Structure 1
Amino acid sequence: MKRAVLAGLRWTSLRLRLVVVFALVALTAAVSASGIAYWLNREAVLVRTQDSALNDFRQGMQNRAASLPLQPTEHDLQVSAKQMADSSNSRYNVLLVAERAPGKPIVGASDVDGFTLEDVPASLQEAVTKKQKVTGSNAYPYHLFWQRITLHGRPYLVGGTKIIGAGPTGYMLAPLDQERRDLNSLAWSLGIATFLALLASALLAQAAATTVLRPVQRLGDAARRLGEGKLDTRLRVSGTDELADLSRTFNRTAEALEKKVTDMSAREEASRRFVADMSHELRTPLTALTAVAEVLDEEEDSLDPMIAPAVRLVVSETRRLNILVENLMEVTRFDAGTARLVLDDVDIADQITACIDTRAWLDAVELDAERGIMARLDPRRLDVILANLIGNALKHGGSPVRVSVRVEGEELVIAVRDHGPGIPEDVLPHVFDRFYKASASRPRSEGSGLGLSIAMENAHIHGGDITATNSPEGGAVFVLRLPLDATEPATPETPEGDAAQ
């Protein structure tokens, strides 16, 4: 369930990334297009209004202001300014400035309250009244200048020029409110268009993401089923695009994997059957050999000293071979999945004491366990685990071996520690491997190399585990962790002999 939720989050994240990318591209394109369109329309509107007003103003200056007397009165200036404003189609106010005498200016305005000389920027007044040198590229000493300004929060176009030949200076002030309203309407329209483009791109991104991600999701589901062991999983392939090629590749890979796993399973099954059959067939002659070896062992004192060592060797190897066959049969049951638990309520202290006493280890093992710690386990398999761990500690670490028992929550913890040299660091990862022996120079040790592996399998079937470490004080420490209640259904089976290494 958790994996499915995580997969759904990853799928949603990829969809979100696609939508965001589409939206960002659309937003960038829409904003760029809207910005360019707004800037072009703004310039066009302002330039059109500006040119119209300035042309009317220039024409008015030529027709009205130029016909004024050399020393006009204030009334003359006011009448001419009003006539220029009234005859214009651009709705501007006019201000005419002349001199009654040197240094004594007079002003006439079409609207005294609406336009005064203070409204004209000083820089514009300076540019208008400044006489320029007449050259081949400049035919007139005075020119028409203009500037866009803001007065009292409203936009205006202000322009000015001077009549050549001691004529009056004229200024015009044209409001740009209508142009601003038009441009604001255009900005709103472009903003709405940008939003609609963004919304459309999101919808298109959803559709595109669905088209792309649906095959990817199917591929992910198929890969999960394949990882869960359903090797017959295949994808339905349609189309000729890259996703279709990926699906075909997945199907070919799954088919090859299924064939290889089937072949390996068949070979593994054949190997298990061979080991099981061999172990079973060996038991009959081993039974006879064991009986003969026991008789020879009992008669060892009466044997000829020349043949006594050979008899001891035969007895020892026969016992070792018998243990190896029993271990092989146990391993075969684990591999075949036929091993089952026979559960019972066990007093852990009594179980460990019985294991130690049966094998005559009482003098070499120290037990730290409170009586009354009960667990529902398979006593035979627990005995196998303890026999292997304690026997391994006695063999490789030496006595005294300390066995301690504690309960952590719902878990039983049994630690087996020896006082030997410990386990080499390169050996630690392999101590539970089958047939692994730390010393290659001693291949004929008494153990079969299967004891710790069988102990681990018995821990796993209980739902537990075994770990191996080195103690800081010296020696190896094996820690067995088992649930206090192994609830796996039990299937009765014939008890087997010890699997001690």
Structure 2
Amino acid sequence: MTDTQGGLRGWAARRGGSLSRLRFTSLRLRLVVVFGLVALTAAVSASGIAYWLNREAVLTRAQDAVLRDFQQEMQNRTGALPVHPTQDELQRAAGQMAGSSQRFSVLLVAQDTDGKTVYGNSGGINGFSLEDVPKSLRAAVNKRQKVADGNKSPYHLYWQRVDQHGTPYLVAGTKLVGGGPTGYMAKSLEPEAKDLNSLAWSLGIATGLALIGSALLAQAAATTVLKPVHRLGVAARRLGEGRLDTRLRVSGTDELADLSRTFNNAAEALEKRVADMAARDEASRRFVADMSHELRTPLTAITAVTEVLEEELESEAGGIDPMVEPAVRLVVSETRRLNDLVENLMEVTRFDAGTARLVLDDVDIADQITACIDARAWLDAVELDAERGAHARLDPRRLDVILANLIGNALKHGGSPVRVSVRIDGEDLVIAVRDHGPGIPEDVLPHVFDRFYKASASRPRSEGSGLGLSIALENAHIHGGEITAANSPDGGAVFTLRLPRDASRLTEENGENGDAVANGGAHGPADLGKEGA
């Protein structure tokens, strides 16, 4: 057993430890193990009972035959001896008794006329002796029993099974009634033991065959049962991968067939539901895109009018009635807000339609951030911590959109000073924008990048549209990057932008997938989506 275990350990080591990683989670393995345990239990129980019954039958039959012959020989041979026989007479009688059909060894013990104990042994000097008889058996044979109605004889025949030098023996003894010698008999049970050993081997082989047969049967049953389950698992994985036309072939009327029908019905309902949702989503995107394009024409005219009104407001002549001036300023600001909202919606539509493209260029990060801050007159409110000379191959317009949204959001909701720090982390560019405001509430953090989400429901008409951070995140994603929001332990919110320093690989992969990388890209105003969440 030790060698076998060592061999298994060696095999597992050669297989890279696969045996140690095997876990009792396979349904097939569990079925085989359960079948094997049931078969092993049944086979061992049946074999044990059969062995025990056959053992008792074999030993009892041999024992009864020997004891009956010995008792008969005692009556016939020793009954003819005198009450005080000589040693020669005992020796001769013992030899005659041993020559019976059962071939057992005999020891006769008596007292001669002088009161001396004499022995008669069928095997000579080195044969069966009194020391070979257990003391308990000798005591029982020599004990005189009380004669009563239930006991007609003062002495009885007693027997005992013993093991001498690895060989089983049946030892028996009795005392001749009416006076005379005491006889002892020893019969080897080695033939019967060999027969029982052969029976045990046969039962062991039968148990092993039953175990092997049960394992094969369990394997066949597991294959029959698990094949539909395997097909169901494959179909479920394909369905999860988006192949909604996946269906199972149904055969039979059992529970597994019902499960397959249920899966098919669920897949059909899911496919229909997804198709309906895709159609509605496509209609929604088309509506937003069409609405945005349709709004641009009137917005162009309105913007031109508001610019004229704004020039009138700023002119020294003061051609605007002071009573009308607040209304004019409101129209101007709301027109700008509406124009920004339309541009944001158009940009979101491009992302949803998958038409947004990268136009890559080598960018000096410090210069790009400085230009973004300077264009929006934020130099006095923003602190920049960036080393000159750090370059990255990115889309500068989209990077400007991201920075404008993050810094503008920090200034609006956190207040100055806003600190922008830049560091290089391996192949990534990491830009952190931190404000010194109250931070972001914990219940708001998971939603800051959601479209049209505003932290304060009581300010539905705040300056921001709720699309700025969402657009910033989409621009980070198109670079293969990410933006995360958190609260600083020292106070204030921290938005961390992580982008690859070289997005060329991403554009190459998109080109291989059939998405051409346009040189023009999806351009909008430089301050696109600058309002925060």
Secondary structure of the residue that 2:498 maps to in structure 1?
strand
1:304 aligned to 2:331?
no
Of 104, 115, 119 in structure 1, the residue corresponding to residue 116 of structure 2 is 104
Deviations 1:15-46 (A, max 9, x none): 22211111111111111111111111111111
Q: Which structure 1 residue ranges, 5 or more long, are not aligned?
A: 1-8
Secondary structure of the residue that 2:112 maps to in structure 1?
strand
Question: In the alignment, what sits opposite 1:396?
Answer: 413
Of 325, 331, 335 in structure 2, the residue corresponding to residue 318 of structure 1 is 335
Question: In the alignment, what sits opposite 2:11?
Answer: none
1:491 aligned to 2:521?
no
Cα shift at 1:100: 2.4
Secondary structure of the residue that 2:161 maps to in structure 1?
strand
CA contact (8 A) 1:279 1:328 kept: yes
Identity %: 77
Q: After TM superposition, list the pairs within 5 Å mapping 1:16-35 onto structure 2.
A: 16-35=29-48
Q: After TM superposition, list the pairs within 5 Å mapping 1:133-282 onto structure 2.
A: 133-282=146-295
CA–CA separation in structure 2 for the residues paired with 1:91 and 1:482: 101
Greater mean alpha carbon deviation, residues 260-269 or residues 132-141: 132-141
Say if 1:450 and 1:101 are closer, same or farther in 2 by CA, change over 3 A.
farther
CA–CA separation in structure 2 for the residues paired with 1:389 and 1:105: 121
How many aligned residue pairs are there? 492
Cα shift at 1:10: 9.0
CA–CA separation in structure 2 for the residues paired with 1:23 and 1:413: 59
What do you get for the CA RMSD once the two structures are aligned?
1.5
CA–CA separation in structure 2 for the residues paired with 1:76 and 1:63: 14
What letter is aligned with 1:70?
V
Secondary structure of the residue that 2:490 maps to in structure 1?
coil
TM norm structure 1: 0.96
Question: In the alignment, what sits opposite 2:142?
Answer: 129
Question: In the alignment, what sits opposite 2:344?
Answer: 327
CA–CA separation in structure 1 for the residues paired with 2:518 and 2:127: 108
Cα shift at 1:102: 8.4
Secondary structure of the residue that 2:485 maps to in structure 1?
strand
Cα shift at 1:208: 1.2
Question: In the alignment, what sits opposite 1:411?
Answer: 428
CA contact (8 A) 2:433 2:496 kept: yes
CA–CA separation in structure 1 for the residues paired with 2:149 and 2:431: 112
What letter is aligned with 1:270?
A
CA–CA separation in structure 2 for the residues paired with 1:460 and 1:347: 20
Consecutive aligned runs of 4 or more in structure 1 exceeding 3 Å deviation: 9-12, 101-104
CA–CA separation in structure 2 for the residues paired with 1:454 and 1:114: 110
Cα shift at 1:104: 3.5
Q: After TM superposition, list the pairs within 5 Å mapping 1:466-481 onto structure 2.
A: 466-481=483-498
Question: In the alignment, what sits opposite 1:463?
Answer: 480
CA contact (8 A) 2:452 2:465 kept: yes
Of 101, 104, 122 in structure 2, the residue corresponding to residue 92 of structure 1 is 104
Q: Which structure 2 residue ranges, 5 or more long, are not aligned?
A: 1-21, 508-516
What letter is aligned with 1:187?
A
Secondary structure of the residue that 2:26 maps to in structure 1?
helix
CA contact (8 A) 1:388 1:500 kept: yes
Question: In the alignment, what sits opposite 1:430?
Answer: 447
CA contact (8 A) 2:440 2:493 kept: yes
Of 82, 85, 95 in structure 1, the residue corresponding to residue 95 of structure 2 is 82
Secondary structure of the residue that 2:296 maps to in structure 1?
helix
CA–CA separation in structure 2 for the residues paired with 1:345 and 1:10: 52
Greater mean alpha carbon deviation, residues 200-209 or residues 261-270: 200-209
Cα shift at 1:268: 0.8
CA contact (8 A) 2:85 2:113 kept: no
